[in-house]
Chain A
Amino acid sequence: MIKLKVNDIDIDIEEGLTVLQACEKAGVEIPRFCYHEKLSIAGNCRMCLVEIEKSPKPIASCAMPATEGMNIKTNTSMVEKARKGVMEFLLANHPLDCPVCDQGGECDLQDQSMFYGIDKSRYKENKRYVPEKHMGPLIKTQMTRCIHCTRCIRFATEVAGIDELGAIGRGEDMQITTYLEKSMESELSANVIDLCPVGALTSKPYVYEARPWELKKTETVDVMDAVGSNIRVDTYGWEVKRILPRINEDINEEWISDKTRYACDGLLNQRLDTPYIKEKNVFKKTSWENAYKIILDRIYSTSPNEIAGLTGDLTSMETLFSIKEFFSKIIKSPNLDSRSNYIYLNNSSRKNYLFNSTINGIEESDLILLIGTNPRYEATILNSRIRKKYLKSKTEIYSVGDMGDLTYPYKSINNSTNTIKEIIEKKNELSSKILHAKKPIIIIGQSALSIKSGAYIFENIKKYLEENNKITREWNPINILSNSASTVGSYDLDIISSNFSKNKVLDGLKNHDFKILFLFGNDDVVFKKKDEFIIYIGTHGDKGAELSDVILPSAAYTEQNGYYTNLEGKLQKAYKSSYPPGDAKEDWMIINDLSKKIKRKELFNNRDELENNLFTYLKTKKKQNSSIDFSILDFVDEKIKYNEIDYYYSNVIARASKTMTQCRNEKIKIKKNGTEG
């Protein structure tokens, strides 16, 4: 701890902080442009000048280490004058186009010039003009406004791990650009828009859409992947205009992926806003009453065993719970599953399907092994944590199979189940490395769990770690990387028709055992339709709706309150920021209505009852017997085939989004032409 003074107030701070951080600890605000907590220090905007006793000149506080006995002053006339001077220089070349600038109203330069600047300009000279740069379909550039803080460059090289942004030229003619104006090839690229303190980099899909003060802001969570990034949804009337990150140091820090940010325009397209029935292969609009009636007739004439249900990847916990209650109490059918493939799941303990080391835990680990997973596309934010860890301490990272560019270097090892066998039989060099590592992380992806040896891989790695005392109370190295927002929630609510790699619902679908199939927002199931009667309850007209005979429109994640459990098992609530379009209803209400029609009894009297019942279920869940007969686990010598996910098209909302389509096309274009511009 060191002692110093800020504006004559004594404070104690830990060593290694900068003067700016010390001032913040003392509660003194320092204006800044280039400094950002999560990025390296550049010290080039000079806005953070402060006076330090015994120093003849003002000092850039962001780049100055705080030392014992410093006497920092931020309220003197010298500091005030320095700030005014810096501000005047920054504005010398900055166009005064605030009225047509999208950053207006939330612009650091605007705010700080009001606060610290002078009210007139002394320059008569012409301002510099910089041509616009192409940076892809997400980022709109207006480089004349750039003040050369280089935050975007530092973000791209440090956090995103793509060395594509740079500053060319020098001095006044410095320009920020990508190499020969290619689009940025990163899933985190749009974060530079938030980082830009001026209007140089703004959001292309949101261009001239709204002013910040016109928008209603709702703090909620994201469902595009299983990470559960914290977001703020900005709405104008019904429309979701944009999505911004919210700081949560345990999950997404300050960043969100491009899909999280820009798939929101998919909430406006392809929406189901009224019930439909299929007549002679053509969908016709109908009323809720009529749709319910058709469903009822079918259900009454079908035995419960012939009714099945599949839940989807964006479904909230409340919906999942009401579906579960609906199936067990109203329909009385056991055929309900949340998995649309034969993925291995040992439901006996929560630890078997969670990311146990937690996302924060990644920063403590000293060895990372990826099995059948590409975190860059499956969980972009989590991948950026792995990169952060790598940059901090050059952690050794291994991947079973070559996963392409993960934004950090890793050693690719032989892509075969035999490798796993070798590791657990201590025949591989990795075996001892895992045992010697203090906090190893083994990330098992969905691809590895859905192959024939999935059970063998998971259970044996677990056994190996248990036998060698690597699973302790403080640290569990086994991490399952779930791909969708509802996966962990569904497992918590036991929405599975059979344990392990079996899946009674999918088997039944294959054999055409079912007469009625409920798809609750599920668009991923692949099966040949024969004469099943399919009821789709969802938000978008996609694959699932196409298959169905009756469509009941429901609400998307921004249109109803709902809990989501992220891959670490953190329960988070998504709040309603908009309302369902047209005649669409909230999910649980549809299910409640159906129950009322079938049994003349509502499942829940109101939302509170639903929530209470949900939490009671989660709390009183019984632990199941977890003994596993290891001898029956299949071992097949096979490749751990990686099922590539189509990043920009991974769920219904993304598929309906124009922006995501543009991003996908851009990526395909780059793939075709190679990265050599």
Chain B
Amino acid sequence: MSIKKISKTQPDKFEFSSQNLEIAKKIISNYPKGKQQSAVMALLYLAQRQNKNWIPLVAMKYIARLLNMSYIKVYEVATFYTMYNLSPVGKFFIQVCTTTPCMIRGAYRLVDACKKKISNKQNELSKNNICSWTEVECLGACVNAPMVQINDDYFEDLDKTDIEKIIEQILSGESPKPGSYKGRTCAEPKNNRKTLVNLKNA
């Protein structure tokens, strides 16, 4: 992890859509009077959602003014958390987990595939500008390691061929199926569950 780079090309304007503004107001009202600044993280996330999965500087300023705090304070928060993207990402944003359990189970093979298929460096758009990838820390699906997160979905139990197939699907505009690629349900054993067999919804 090195410090996040701020995109050189920045939009001139950012404002919450009327729908998001409603949500923002609701979030702000969750906090007691005078402590509205606590809403900064939620609002940054909202802005990221609205703006194609990344936060431009104008959005940070907009939020700073909205919450009556200084620019640098918002900037600090945005640069601290890795889940805020400060430069444009692809429409399909692949986050490859490389923390120990995934690493042991071959996460770097997924990274190699991303390098080969998408772009040589992290956070760089693919040739058709549709996809980008990055390495992240633990996403909490260690039982199904190795895994990647693409936008909001988890793709688990991957190997090199699986990820290559997924990337190819994405690049050609299709939406691949999320979940385990070894055919298991959630984090159950590969060949059916051994305990709690009588409980359907367990």
Contacts and interface: CB of A to CB of B under 8 A. Distances in A.
Nearest to B81: A170
A254 interface: no
B134 to A, nearest CB: 15
Contact of B70 (A164, A168, A175): A164
Interface stretch (B17-25, B72-80, B165-173): B72-80
B80 A166 contact: no
A99 interface: no
B76 A168 contact: yes
A163 B76 contact: no
A173 B80 contact: no
Given A163-B72, A163-B73, A179-B72, A168 B80 contact: yes
A677 B64 CA distance: 14
A135 interface: no
A179 B75 contact: yes
Contact of B3 (A164, A165, A169, A180): A169
Nearest to B60: A179
A163 B73 CA distance: 8
B128 interface: no
Interface of B is mostly: helix
Interface string A168-182: 111101010011100
B58 to A, nearest CB: 10
Nearest to A677: B71
A179 B71 contact: yes
Contacts of A169: 3-4, 79-80
Interface in A137-159: none
Contact of B1 (A163, A165, A166, A171): A171
A173 B1 CA distance: 8
A179 B1 CA distance: 21
A163 B70 contact: yes
A175 B76 CA distance: 10
A400 B70 CA distance: 27
Contacts of A164: 70, 72
B67 to A, nearest CB: 13
B8 to A, nearest CB: 12
B72 A166 contact: yes
B73 A166 contact: yes
A37 interface: no
A119 interface: no
Contacts of A163: 69-73
A676 B79 contact: no
A68 B140 CA distance: 45
A175 B2 CA distance: 11
B37 to A, nearest CB: 11
Contacts of B71: 163, 179, 677
Nearest to B71: A179
Given A168-B79, A168-B80, A169-B79, A175 B72 contact: no
B136 to A, nearest CB: 14
B80 A165 contact: no
Given A179-B71, A676-B61, A166 B76 contact: yes
Contacts of B2: 173
A427 B3 CA distance: 59
A173 B57 CA distance: 20
Contacts of A645: none
A167 interface: yes
A379 B29 CA distance: 40
A157 to B, nearest CB: 8
B75 A166 contact: yes
B72 A173 contact: no
B1 A167 contact: no
Contacts of B61: 676
Given A170-B80, A676-B61, A165 B72 contact: yes
Interface in B60-96: 61, 69-73, 75-76, 79-80
A577 to B, nearest CB: 38
A166 B73 CA distance: 7
Contacts of B1: 171, 173
Contacts of A173: 1-3
Nearest to B82: A170
A416 B83 CA distance: 53
Contacts of A166: 72-73, 75-76
A166 B61 CA distance: 15
Contacts of B3: 168-169, 173, 175
Contacts of A676: 61
B26 to A, nearest CB: 27
B76 A167 contact: yes
A254 B57 CA distance: 36
A43 B1 CA distance: 25
Nearest to A169: B3
A109 B69 CA distance: 34
A166 B77 CA distance: 10
Nearest to B72: A166
Nearest to B1: A173
A634 to B, nearest CB: 43
Interface string A336-354: 0000000000000000000
A170 B79 CA distance: 8
Question: Residue among A165, A179, A180, A676 with the most chain B CB within 10 A?
Answer: A179
Interface string A413-447: 00000000000000000000000000000000000
Interface in B78-126: 79-80
Nearest to A131: B3
Interface in B6-57: 57
B82 to A, nearest CB: 8
A175 B79 CA distance: 10
Contacts of A165: 72
Nearest to B78: A168
Contacts of B4: 169
B71 to A, nearest CB: 5
8 contacts: A164-B70, A168-B3, A169-B79, A170-B79, A170-B80, A173-B2, A179-B70, A180-B57
Interface of B: 1-4, 57, 61, 69-73, 75-76, 79-80
Given A166-B72, A166-B76, 6 more contacts: A163-B73, A168-B75, A169-B4, A170-B80, A173-B1, A676-B61
The 4 closest A-B pairs by CB, nearest first: A163-B70, A166-B72, A168-B79, A169-B3
